[in-house]
Homo-oligomer: A and B are copies of this chain.
């Protein structure tokens, strides 16, 4: 191959192979590979992705050497096919298709039947003795080429496509119902009208020169790399625009020459559930596009057994060949031309989470792949779909979709809608299933959220309060559904003319972000059914798959997987799923339960230190009880308890009447309460009096919490259960804060030990969640026995971006490609990652064995977990239902790092 090879042939001569996806795209590389392993691939060639990049840089012009190499390649194909490109009697026709490194189905343009013109179509008619076929090919070609290359198309969604309009009009005139009803003559008429349409629209004739046709088609495919839907798709799936697409030019084979022809798509296994069965569909006498277009209903692949038994047998063999060779479930396209099978494409098949797990495990058991490959192959995020209920897809179809918000808490939920947490609680107590709907949620809503099936908000991103709490609770949540107009006064949602009233049924899908009016049945997850002892053969089998994958992940991963758990119930769930410790217990969440919020409020409103201590003394036994519960569930695994973090005003009600109630209950003058509420008001609470700043100004709070921890520890140890406590100090920016709080914790420990006559061991460490803390991590490491990166706050401060307020501009930023992904969902590696690296380097210099973790929301995000692995953290801590995801991501990170370079 020449130095500047732009063209890779497949056919008799095969230049490429499956490893060359970056250069040839997935389709081109696999066409070459299929040809290599002897599968029947119509000959052709691939123009490389490098040419695409050059084309874009070169003002959308093809380099000359490319055209030269194209001509040579065409000659080679002509020789193999015994036809000539542009020949009037026996024309060689091509399909021209895009093919990027990663499959982007339907996103870019395709042109079939290229090489026909007014004269050669007659030759084709003569040669095939099938004028209808020939004219149908030509009219399809004009239609595709006119649309894709010449821009004859509708310019908004409401307009009818111009070619469709002309076709529809002709069919009306001749009273044809389907396209196939048109005769050869009528098709000729259609061709004439198409050509007029083209000339009228773009002011030039439809090109008759086949080389000009080809050049236009290649350019159009390259341009389609940047069409709107492709850009949107890339953004969604994080595909870099610098990759570019290849162009595959392949000699046409025809599934539409008669009833001994067919075309189809198939999977080597069932992509929905992963079962090992030949799965797919086909159409007799059709071209590939017809299968996708949905005009005729395809047959299930099993029917081919009857229609074309020999082809069917061949296909079954192809399946085995493909899987033996590609070592993965394949999704392939085929065409049968006059009883002869041709393979047009193969690729790794997309599959559901369940199928991914099943196929991976079974392929290991079949000896096709190693466990490492199985783990690498399961998208970490997809495993969570095994753990959450999903909608019954059939029922879902009939419903009115109201909006699509952000998928903030996976799973499907259905219930009556209520707009107040309090009412939601009452209705739930009366036995109803509830969807709690709020513009945005606040800590006051937590009890309502606990009782709801799902949570729906119109404001806030995937890291908003609603989303964070929902994920922590394992609740279904759709947030930031901005098109919903939620009105608390009238207790309605208005959206696009529809009005949903309080008590109406709404169904939300927290995996997709969809919001539906009405009731949809949900299907519980098999894994959860087994965990809840509801056995069935199918569920047991799936549970075994799940458990197998978890075991393999455990074998490979190096990162510890801990959990964020605030209650014994969450701890129990996490323990069942294999959490190795609690990395974050947010003690403040405990303060919202039951009556204790009132003691909390009393404490906050206390006019003197003595009053405050009195209120704290009421809270202490409750806190101690909470801690005991956690310790019992975790059975000696480390439990990291973070001291009080949020600003105090979050605990106070902000409604006049609630203040009056408080005033009565504690006989505190309402004026004092109001003054105190006003004094606690902050312009920017996120940057205000919170975290260890509370413990610094109210040392008695730290003392109370520390004492409760140590007393609980002794109680549970007395029950014969091991306890490992790590006390975590939040929002440290200065070493003086750390030493001040450590001194209080040590004093509390000493006091408890003296009272109880026991010796306790425990660790004290800190959240690392402010840039300043990262910058002085060496000094902090002198005092702290562990750090846990609080990446939510660290992201907010490093980017100067509030997670609650970024909803107004983040979508624009993502659309404008200023940032790739929501930095609250996946760590901003360039910025936040850099400062984490500074912190890790500095800390390890001082204390090489320091335990480093992460307990922000990012602890459950696969990409972030991989980054944490590279960073050398000891563990990630995530919500209980993210543990399986985290395990797989951690295993993948370990495998990737061991085998750098194998990945493209």
Contact = CB atoms under 8 A, between A and B. Distances in A.
Contacts of A36: none
B696 A736 contact: no
A809 interface: yes
5 contacts: A679-B808, A683-B802, A689-B809, A696-B813, A770-B800
A666 interface: no
A156 interface: no
A793 B830 CA distance: 20
Contacts of A664: none
Contact of A733 (B689, B736, B799, B835): B799
- Chain A binding surface SS class: helix
Contact of A696 (B683, B733, B816): B816
Interface in A773-798: 775-776, 793, 796-798
B740 A818 contact: yes
Contacts of A809: 689, 693, 696-697
A328 to B, nearest CB: 36
A732 B804 CA distance: 19
Contact of A804 (B679, B683, B737, B770): B683
> In the assembly, how many copies of this chain are there?
2
B775 A737 contact: no
Interface string A724-750: 000000010110110010000000000
A682 interface: yes
Contacts of A696: 809, 812-813, 816, 818
Contacts of A401: none
A683 B646 CA distance: 14
Contact of A771 (B689, B804, B835): B835
A805 B835 contact: no
Interface string A676-711: 000100111111110001001100000000000000
A360 interface: no
B684 A686 contact: yes
Contact of A805 (B688, B736, B808): B688
Nearest to A735: B818
B808 A697 contact: yes
Given A687-B802, A688-B806, A740-B818, 18 more contacts: A683-B685, A683-B805, A684-B802, A696-B812, A696-B813, A697-B808, A733-B801, A733-B831, A734-B818, A736-B813, A736-B817, A737-B818, A769-B800, A770-B799, A771-B800, A775-B798, A775-B830, A775-B831
A740 B693 CA distance: 39
Contact of A812 (B688, B697, B801, B816): B697
A834 interface: yes
A822 to B, nearest CB: 13
A770 B796 contact: no
B682 A805 contact: yes
A457 to B, nearest CB: 13
A832 interface: yes
Interface string A609-626: 000000000000000000
Nearest to A681: B805
A241 to B, nearest CB: 13
Contacts of A796: 684, 687
Interface string A180-210: 0000000000000000000000000000000
Given A771-B797, A816-B736, A818-B737, A831 B776 contact: yes
A331 interface: no
Contacts of A370: none
A740 B817 CA distance: 10
Contacts of A697: 808-809, 812
Contact of A736 (B693, B801, B818, B828): B818
A658 interface: no
